[in-house]
Homo-oligomer: A and B are copies of this chain.
Amino acid sequence: MERALISQISKYEGKSALIKGRVFNIRNLGNIVFLVVQDYTGTIQVVADKDVEVKTGDAVVIEGLVKKDERAKGGFELKSEKLEVVSNTIEDLPFDLAKDDLNLNLVTLLDYRPLSLRHPRVQAIFRLYDLLLKSYEIVMREYDFTEIKTPKLLGAATEGGANFFKVKYFEKEATLAQSPQFYKQIMVGVFERVFEIGSVFRAEPHFTTRHVNEYVGLDAEMGFIKDFYDITKTLNIILKKMFSMIEKEGKDCLDLYGIKGLEVPEEIPIIKLSEIKKIIKEKYGHDISEGTDIDPKGEELAGQYAKEKFNSDFIFITHYPYSDRPFYTMPSPEDEKETCGFDLLYKGLEIATGGQRIHKYEELIKNMKKKKIKPEGMEFYLNVFKFAIPPHGGWGMGSERIIKQMLGLESIKEAILFPRDVKRLIP
């Protein structure tokens, strides 16, 4: 007999069906036993004999008659005629997966990750994550971006800073990519518009709710732009399409977190960093010193401002200070202390960083000197600008941060299957 998926069970009303899944819960009423069985499409109530030998968590294959039953969740139940345990639990589960909320602290949740992931509310996070990837893959192609994969093992030179991991690479030393930055810029000269979904490694010793040491970046780079607003506009459109797809296909999962809609404004509010700092100070009394990035509290307040003033979950903050942005960032044509660099906040947390890049060789070299960065090991990157890279820019988004903010999770680690932090390499 062909397998019936639980979500399709109504088609089998009055007929026999074969389901495969996991026993999620058992209620023993003495003369009869109710099982809740879960496959990857849903759950169904199964009525079994009182002498059925099965435990919570077992993987089962059940054949039986499908009956309509108003009292059962989903409206149908299966009267078990043949039940086979194809794989059994040999230890008690460390927590009750049938509870509405696992209610574990973060450490326990992550230590027991292979099992805590089986809880429907935790599963929902990663169903939405799947939809996020899917929507990026589809929408980026709709806008003519070509998907690329660039190396994560790099020669010694990197974007600079000290936040990179070192790898013993045969007789040499390699570093792990902190971003696909150089490669996606090179690829603008090849395909004009490219995107990448790839691993990003950051050796930051932070231990916060927003940082991890390995994440999945949603990167993009595009050529022939007029100015950096072409980038913010494109990202705006793409996010709007992605969120609309996620909202539609992920409704059940969003419901579990009480999220009603995923609204991305037609035009995300856009404001200069210096402006938003002023507003935050005046409106909320939070003071951030001049010439620096916004702090986490400031991001939160900027998000609050976007919500109060524009009813928007998103806000672009632009013109980050020259001193704060990497050497390849295009300086602002109006003020050399500022750049054409932006961040995008979602509910008060930075989820994307982007900007226009310098596309002329001489300017790039000049800017490196000004920033006291040595070109050694970067020649392959610098040289391509001798060969007419068009005006361009792009963004890097943190996929897991999007999901964290979407669902209001306390830590980004909840949005990663097997997160990595300073202390955690296992599981």
Contact = CB atoms under 8 A, between A and B. Distances in A.
B168 A165 contact: yes
11 contacts: A40-B144, A57-B387, A113-B380, A127-B146, A129-B149, A133-B137, A137-B137, A150-B417, A153-B165, A165-B174, A174-B425
Interface string A118-150: 100001001101100110010001001011111
Nearest to A85: B388
A426 B387 contact: no
Interface in A407-426: 417-420, 422, 425-426
Interface string A176-204: 10000001001101111100011101010
Interface stretch (A28-36, A87-95, A306-314): A87-95
Which 5 A-B residue pairs are closest in the complex by CB-CB distance? A380-B427, A59-B390, A155-B425, A114-B384, A155-B426
Contacts of A198: 199
A97 to B, nearest CB: 10
A166 B174 CA distance: 10
Contact of A167 (B41, B86, B165, B383): B165
Nearest to A192: B40
Contact of A20 (B58, B129, B224): B224
Interface in A17-38: 20, 22
Nearest to A156: B425
A191 B40 contact: yes
B199 A197 contact: no
Given A169-B165, A192-B39, A417-B187, A387 B130 contact: no
Given A141-B134, A150-B418, A427 B381 contact: yes
Contacts of A391: 86-87
A223 B86 CA distance: 11
Contacts of A12: none
A390 B57 CA distance: 11
A91 B379 CA distance: 15
A315 interface: no
Given A114-B186, A425-B153, A193 B147 contact: no
Contacts of A399: 149
B422 A170 contact: yes
Contacts of A420: 151, 153
Nearest to A423: B170
Contacts of A86: 224, 390-391
A212 to B, nearest CB: 10
A41 B88 CA distance: 55
B167 A176 contact: yes
Contacts of A191: 40, 123, 126
A75 interface: no
A134 B420 CA distance: 28
A151 B190 contact: no
Given A59-B224, A176-B167, A386 B425 contact: no
A69 to B, nearest CB: 25
A359 interface: yes
A242 interface: no
A406 interface: no
Contact of A114 (B89, B115, B189, B197): B189
A287 interface: no
Contacts of A224: 3, 20, 59, 61, 86
A228 to B, nearest CB: 15
Contact of A146 (B118, B130, B174): B130
Contacts of A418: 150-151, 183
Contacts of A380: 113-114, 426-427
A403 to B, nearest CB: 11
A216 B149 contact: yes
Nearest to A212: B151
A93 B387 contact: yes
